[in-house]
Structure 1
């Protein structure tokens, strides 16, 4: 898978540029050395949480490790599947800003009854969400909101949250724009 290979190359490049050993980065990210080695070799399929831990340990954001480098004023991007579930749900990263912590444009599809449990993003992070089809159940510790097609929301994503689709009905599709906060304040 192209994104996995690009991720591995970018993690290795940034680790070496920072003067870190595999063990040093693994310790900083809270991962095993074996897992980090497999990621760098492009043989592991890490979770979003794992990629985010590595990014934070390297002092960058998620998009910096997964998106193609931005070298021109206009960058045309192809969607990259970053997450999928056995039920057929998936998350596509369409494009990310060239600047650190800049916006990322995502498209999600959740099959009926499926759920994605997210880990907190860096402090100050937020998402803008627009539901295209179905109903999105957006869960935080404080609230559960059911957003139908055409509804939108702003979510402070620096706390635990989840996306879910109702058990019955059509798949839920939504677009989200993620603006990462500052991981250095963690």
Structure 2
């Protein structure tokens, strides 16, 4: 392994350890308590927090699930500067072929996405188990957000905020693509 790869791996281990300790402490959990809810040994968790372990993806997944945070939030250092450039993202097509989405950022239970919404389309998101707050900002075009049967028309640079436990959907009633950003903040 090259020196650069060694340094990168060491940085990832340290970042993971720091993030885990900070998240665990923010939830007022001891290592022993976290071990019980994750089914990961206290020794392993301590080694991860010190940057001395190389945990498997399965172990990191157990930890992120137990702490109710996105997996990627354990691997991102909050002091890092992360630049999300349009050329860096790999969009994923939604199941119904009307919405292309890309995740821009994920940290501490908050995520930011950019959506590209096809003309004359309707999209109803899958209901999530976790309660979260959604903040939607239209970057290009006009978006109709229906919340509990009430429609809200958002034009370019306008925004709306609501809780995910509402019944909601997105509508593009225009002949042009709509681009909007969504910040999802976990409330658990």
Shared fold (TM-score greater than 0.5)?
Answer: yes
In the alignment, which of 67, 76, 79 is matched to residue 70 of structure 1?
76
Q: How far apart are 1:94 and its partner, in Å?
A: 0.3
Q: Secondary structure at the match of 1:150?
A: coil
Q: In the TM superposition, what whole-angstrom CA distance separates every residue of 1:28-68 from its partner, at most 9, and x where no partner exists?
A: xxxxxxxxxxxx9xxxxxxxxxxxxx99x93354x623567
The 1:96/1:128 distance shift into structure 2, 3 A limit, reads same
Does residue 1:131 correspond to 2:138, yes or no?
A: yes
Q: Secondary structure at the match of 2:71?
A: helix
In the alignment, which of 65, 81, 85 is matched to residue 91 of structure 2?
81
TM-score of the aligned structures, taking structure 2 as reference length: 0.55
Whether the aligned pair in 2 keeps the contact of 1:130 and 1:174 (CA below 8 Å) is yes
Q: How far apart are 1:133 and its partner, in Å?
A: 1.4
Q: In the TM superposition, what whole-angstrom CA distance separates every residue of 1:66-114 from its partner, at most 9, and x where no partner exists?
A: 56711462053653535525545211110111x2x2x211111110122
**Structural mapping, 1:86-165, within 5 Å:** 87=97, 89-97=99-107, 99=108, 101=109, 103-121=110-128, 124-165=131-172
2: distance between equivalents of 1:80 and 1:181?
Answer: 28
Runs of 4+ aligned structure 1 residues displaced above 4 Å come to none
Whether the aligned pair in 1 keeps the contact of 2:113 and 2:183 (CA below 8 Å) is yes
Q: Structure 2, unaligned stretches of length 5 or more?
A: 1-36, 41-56
Q: Larger C-alpha radius of gyration, 1 or 2? A: 2
1: distance between equivalents of 2:161 and 2:78?
Answer: 31
* RMSD (Å), alpha carbons: 3.4
TM-score of the aligned structures, taking structure 1 as reference length: 0.55
2: distance between equivalents of 1:179 and 1:71?
Answer: 18
Q: Secondary structure at the match of 1:59?
A: helix
- Kindly tell me the number of residue pairs found equivalent between the two proteins: 129
Q: Structure 1, unaligned stretches of length 5 or more?
A: 1-16, 21-39, 41-53
Which residue is equivalent to 1:23?
none
2: distance between equivalents of 1:147 and 1:155?
Answer: 14
Whether the aligned pair in 1 keeps the contact of 2:114 and 2:182 (CA below 8 Å) is yes
The 1:80/1:104 distance shift into structure 2, 3 A limit, reads farther
Q: How far apart are 1:119 and its partner, in Å?
A: 3.2
